[in-house]
A = this chain, B = another copy of it.
Amino acid sequence: MVLPIDLLEVSKNREISLLLKDGRVLKGKLIGHDQYMNLVLDDAREEKEGEERRLGKIVLRGSNVVSIALI
């Protein structure tokens, strides 16, 4: 049994890929989270139409996240 929050815990400092509710896909290194699944990404990038936009260090509100994949 793997609690969702535990998977985030063991994913720290690993690259993840996020799907947001608005359809955007973000990638970055997971460096923090809280119990609401708010996330902190380092070296975040948004990929859109083959291009990559660099966002740096960001906070993401968990309520906008659909899924979190380990890369």
Contact = CB atoms under 8 A, between A and B. Distances in A.
Contacts of A3: 32-34, 40
Contacts of A31: 1-2
Interface string A39-71: 110001000000000011111111111111111
Contacts of A34: 3-5
Interface residues of A, number: 40
Copies in the complex: 7
A60 B70 contact: no
Contact of A68 (B26, B59, B66, B68): B59
Residue among A58, A60, A71 having the largest count of chain B Cβ atoms under 10 Å: A58
B38 A4 contact: yes
